[in-house]
Amino acid sequence: MAFVSRLVAQLTGVAVPPNKAIVGENAFSHESGIHVHGVLSECSTYEPMRPEIVGKERTFVVGKHSGVHAVQNKLREYGLELPMDQMKEVVARVKKYAESGKKLDDAELLAVAYDVMGQEAAPVIRLEEFTVFTGLNFTPTATVVLNIDGEMRRASETGVGPIDASVNAIRNAVSKNIVLKEFRLEAITGGSNALCEVTIKLGDCEDAQLLSLGKSVGSDIVTTSVDATVEALNRLWVRKLSANGTAKERRKAY
């Protein structure tokens, strides 16, 4: 049903309102702490049907009405387990930001959580070199050199565009088990030199539970996308090594 709705919207040029029943973006979204707790315990409490039946996914939105359960569930998606005192501090900050009119996405929520925890792990993967070629009647090609815990890796890949080629090259340098789950691009300012914000979600085809987010802001779409990808890779790397993190095992992670 959701697929048909999106197809009709694409063909007619009429967007589906977010508050549209069943197929709207907010149809299976929950923010209130009571709602989230109820749905996590028994989804039929607030949902007349499972979202999968109509081709949708259940989402938990973090905002001023969120409680501990909503934030805790969202952080667990990215492998973060915080003690209750730290979790309450994260919730308090989320509410403070939301009340000021700021909407936190997953990447910003992770940043808040890492700040409350004290510090984020030092990056294991560093971008040393990056080049991309594109143009008319030319297949976009990217070359990257990554420093992965002291080991230099170089890779070149093509793609349907410069961003696709760049992400493919980075994946090839690290591991082809890495999959791009989501790519989101937003313009922050106007004009041809506008600042853009890129958010990238990565996963691992060997473990569906492994997810990570990277976010970057810049004036160049391609380099900003590369920065976001490297940030997401570092967080994915840390999650992959959460059980054992010696320097020798780091090299075997991917």
CATH (domain of 49): 4.10.430.20
Provide the pLDDT for residue 11.
Answer: 79
- Indicate whether 159 and 240 sit together in one domain: yes
- 106 contact partners, CB below 8 Å, separation of at least 6: 74, 77, 78, 199, 201, 213
Last residue in a domain, options 71, 95, 117: 117
Predicted confidence (pLDDT) per residue in 175-224, tens digit: 888 999 989 888 877 676 778 889 999 988 888 778 888 888 888 899 99
Q: Structural domain of residue 42, as residue ranges?
A: 2-117
What is the rounded CA–CA span in Å between residue 138 and residue 118? 47
- Indicate whether 95 and 129 sit together in one domain: no
Give the rounded distance of the alpha carbon of 72 from its chain centre: 17
Ramachandran angles phi, psi of 71, nearest 5°: -65, -40
- Indicate whether 234 and 191 sit together in one domain: yes
The total of structural domains in the chain comes to 2
Provide the pLDDT for residue 242.
Answer: 62
pTM: 0.66
Last residue in a domain, options 117, 145, 171: 117
For 39, 80, 107, 184, the CA distances from 200, given in Å and listed in that order, are: 27, 18, 9, 6
Q: Are 131 and 142 in contact (CB under 8 A)?
A: yes
- Round the CA-based radius of gyration of the chain to a whole number and report it: 20
Predicted confidence (pLDDT) per residue in 78-120, tens digit: 878 888 888 888 888 888 777 766 667 777 788 788 778 765 6
Q: Which of 46, 21, 50 is closest to 32 using CA atoms?
A: 46
CATH code assigned at 189: 3.30.160.270
71 or 29, greater pLDDT: 71
Last residue in a domain, options 117, 134, 150: 117
